[in-house]
């Protein structure tokens, strides 16, 4: 007899043999609905399936996803990478392992503009991996620093994964954006600390030349233009002036003004290509969301949320133990499943259970996103690791070995944020998003 557990096993089995995620989600969900209908406990699955496909993406807040993607695409095409890299190098100055630390800082800035880990790896890595090699870093370290720091993007606002979680569980996206600020900074600082620890053994290259004051002023002025965009997003939401979706529209408008009016690095002919890439990326995300809705519907009918909740309660009634089990589960899932798909499937199941343990849904959202972004730097699915390795022309297995200390630092931050909720909730509480 097919149960909810059987459907989940079918889903992971399909993914492990290489079936595309959206096909795996839709197929497993369709099988579940067909089985339910045969038992005469459910209506026509051929009506329920298209209804689920539509209802999965029929939420206005999801419009923020293509807007943030387009804004990031325009800013990236406008040439912000060089500006942010120069600004980061200037701020790091003559620290030990200066270029490696500048790489991390640039990723933090870049993530606050695009919200995409893969875009961060491609853009920042394309500039800094060759530069780090030229300066004397090994390919392994260059790949490890780039891939691990790129994962900061989905936690620092704007974050597409936060939008997906917020829509999935009905939580304020603005609160989630603000809640990601301190954890994102903590991850960046932990990676810098890791580099400094490794520097004691490897003696990484250290910059000795100083930057003239006039050049510093020019670099700062150039970097401020792209860095204003996260301020528009966060400031508009904090001030109650705009919703996250409206903030996305303002970000697109600012990006167009910057690219075509201020930077003047874009041509009208560039716009169709940027719109096309935005449409492709948006379609990929929305297709996963809509197909996941079919599976989510089937799992709900099979009462999987209730069964999983009872399972956790049978193990322990302690929220500490529950969060430990969730972290282990999500860290494992994040290594071989897309983070967005994992959020869509698991957040409607796990978030209500977390609330029953007295855990704030905003705090739990940050925990889920942190878990799943770590997976973007680990094989077998770690796209950031694959992209960085391809840029460096390095075998992935060598990059995977070098990234382990950085993954360890990120996991340490994950557990700190897990068991010290105020790190995620202090800013949302200060600005009135949570009690």
Smallest CA-to-CA distance from 129 within 343, 414, 387 is with 387
DSSP states of 257-273 as a string? IIIIIIS----GGGHHH
Q: Please tell me the predicted confidence (pLDDT) of residue 370.
A: 93
Q: How many CB atoms lie within 10 A of CB 50?
A: 12
The number of C-alpha atoms within 13 Å of 172 and in the hemisphere containing its C-beta is 21
State the Rg of the chain over Cα. Answer: 22
- Whole-angstrom Cα distance, residue 84 to residue 430? 30
**Residues recorded for the chain:** 435
- Whole-angstrom Cα distance, residue 367 to residue 245? 23
Q: How many CB atoms lie within 10 A of CB 47?
A: 10
Structure token pair of residue 85: 């890299």
Smallest CA-to-CA distance from 147 within 369, 406, 373, 377 is with 377
Q: Please tell me the predicted confidence (pLDDT) of residue 418.
A: 96
Provide the CA 106 distance to its chain's centre, in angstroms.
Answer: 16
Task: Let me know how many helices (H) and strands (E) the chain has, helices first.
Answer: 21, 0
Q: Which residues, in sequence order, are CB contacts of 13 under 8 Å at separation 6+? A: none
DSSP states of 28-46 as a string? HHHHHHHHHHHTTSS--HH
Place of tokens 């010290």: 420
Q: Please tell me the predicted confidence (pLDDT) of residue 84.
A: 83
Provide the CA 296 distance to its chain's centre, in angstroms.
Answer: 21
Going residue by residue through the chain (435 aa), what tens digit of pLDDT does each one get? 566 678 888 887 887 787 887 888 888 888 887 777 765 555 566 676 777 777 767 777 788 888 888 888 888 888 787 888 888 888 887 788 888 888 898 888 887 777 677 777 888 888 888 888 888 888 999 999 998 988 887 888 888 888 889 888 888 888 998 999 999 999 999 999 999 999 888 888 887 777 888 888 888 888 888 888 888 887 888 777 888 888 888 888 988 988 888 888 888 888 899 999 889 888 888 888 888 888 877 887 777 777 888 888 888 889 999 999 999 988 888 877 777 778 888 888 899 999 999 999 999 999 999 998 888 888 767 778 888 888 888 888 888 889 999 999 999 999 999 999 999 999 998 888 766
pLDDT per position as a tens digit, 69-122: 888 888 888 878 788 888 888 888 778 888 888 889 888 888 777 767 777 788
Q: What global pTM score does this model have?
A: 0.88
- Whole-angstrom Cα distance, residue 75 to residue 229? 9
Q: What is the DSSP letter of 269?
A: G
Backbone angles phi, psi at 79, to 5 degrees: 95, 35
Q: Please tell me the predicted confidence (pLDDT) of residue 94.
A: 79
Smallest CA-to-CA distance from 375 within 407, 343, 345, 423 is with 407
- Whole-angstrom Cα distance, residue 264 to residue 258? 7
- Whole-angstrom Cα distance, residue 217 to residue 213? 6
- Whole-angstrom Cα distance, residue 22 to residue 345? 12
Backbone angles phi, psi at 104, to 5 degrees: -65, -45
Q: How many CB atoms lie within 10 A of CB 380?
A: 12
- Whole-angstrom Cα distance, residue 422 to residue 306? 29
Q: Please tell me the predicted confidence (pLDDT) of residue 122.
A: 83
Q: Please tell me the predicted confidence (pLDDT) of residue 58.
A: 72
Place of tokens 């409206």: 246
- Whole-angstrom Cα distance, residue 380 to residue 237? 37
Place of tokens 């620092």: 156
- Whole-angstrom Cα distance, residue 160 to residue 62? 9
Smallest CA-to-CA distance from 132 within 207, 31, 230 is with 207
- Whole-angstrom Cα distance, residue 258 to residue 232? 13
The number of C-alpha atoms within 13 Å of 102 and in the hemisphere containing its C-beta is 27
DSSP states of 416-432 as a string? HHHH-THHHHHHHHHTT
Provide the CA 69 distance to its chain's centre, in angstroms.
Answer: 13
Q: How far, in Å, are 114, 224, 251 from residue 233 at the CA level?
A: 12, 15, 7
Q: Please tell me the predicted confidence (pLDDT) of residue 242.
A: 83
412 CB burial (10 A radius; 0-12, 13-18, 19+)? middle
Q: Please tell me the predicted confidence (pLDDT) of residue 236.
A: 82
Residue spans of the domains in the chain: they are 61-295+302-430
């Amino acid at each position: 007899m097919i149960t909810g557990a059987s459907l989940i096993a079918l889903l992971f089995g399909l993914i492990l043999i290489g079936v595309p995620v959206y096909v795996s989600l839709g197929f497993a969900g369709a099988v579940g609905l067909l089985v339910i209908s045969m038992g005469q406990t459910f209506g026509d699955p051929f009506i329920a399936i298209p209804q689920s496909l539509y209802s999965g993406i029929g939420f206005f807040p999801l419009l923020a996803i293509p807007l943030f993607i387009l804004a990031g695409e325009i800013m990236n095409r406008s040439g912000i990478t060089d500006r942010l890299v120069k600004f980061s190098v200037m701020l790091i100055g003559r620290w030990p392992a200066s270029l490696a630390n500048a790489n991390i800082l640039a990723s933090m800035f870049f993530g606050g503009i695009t919200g995409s880990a893969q875009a961060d790896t491609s853009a920042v890595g394309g500039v800094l991996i060759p530069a780090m090699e030229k300066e004397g870093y090994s390919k392994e370290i260059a790949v490890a620093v780039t891939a691990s720091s790129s994962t900061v993007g989905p936690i620092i606002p704007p974050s597409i994964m936060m939008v997906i979680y917020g829509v999935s569980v009905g939580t304020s996206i603005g609160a989630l954006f603000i809640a990601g600020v301190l954890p994102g900074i903590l991850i960046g600082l932990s990676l810098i600390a890791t580099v400094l620890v490794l520097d004691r053994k490897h003696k990484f290259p250290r910059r000795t030349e100083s930057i003239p004051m006039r050049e510093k002023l020019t670099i700062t002025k150039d970097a401020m233009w792209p860095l204003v965009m996260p301020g528009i997003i966060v400031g508009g939401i904090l001030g109650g002036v705009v919703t996250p979706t409206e903030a996305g529209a303002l970000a697109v408008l600012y990006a167009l003004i910057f690219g075509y009016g201020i930077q003047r690095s874009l041509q009208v002919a560039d716009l169709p290509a940027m719109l096309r890439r935005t449409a492709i990326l948006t379609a990929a995300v929305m297709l996963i969301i809509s197909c996941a809705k079919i599976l989510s519907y089937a799992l709900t009918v099979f009462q999987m949320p209730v069964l999983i909740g009872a399972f956790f309660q049978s193990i322990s009634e302690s929220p500490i133990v529950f969060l430990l089990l969730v972290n282990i589960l999500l860290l494992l899932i994040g290594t071989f499943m897309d983070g967005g798909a994992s959020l869509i499937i698991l957040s409607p199941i796990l978030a209500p259970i977390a609330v029953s343990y007295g855990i704030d849904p905003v705090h739990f959202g940050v925990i889920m996103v942190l878990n799943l972004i770590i997976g973007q730097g680990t094989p077998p699915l770690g796209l950031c690791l694959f992209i960085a390795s391809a840029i460096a022309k390095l075998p992935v297995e060598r990059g995977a070995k070098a990234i382990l200390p950085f993954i360890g630092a990120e996991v340490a931050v994950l557990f700190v944020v897990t068991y010290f909720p105020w790190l995620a909730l202090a800013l949302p509480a200060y600005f009135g998003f949570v009690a």
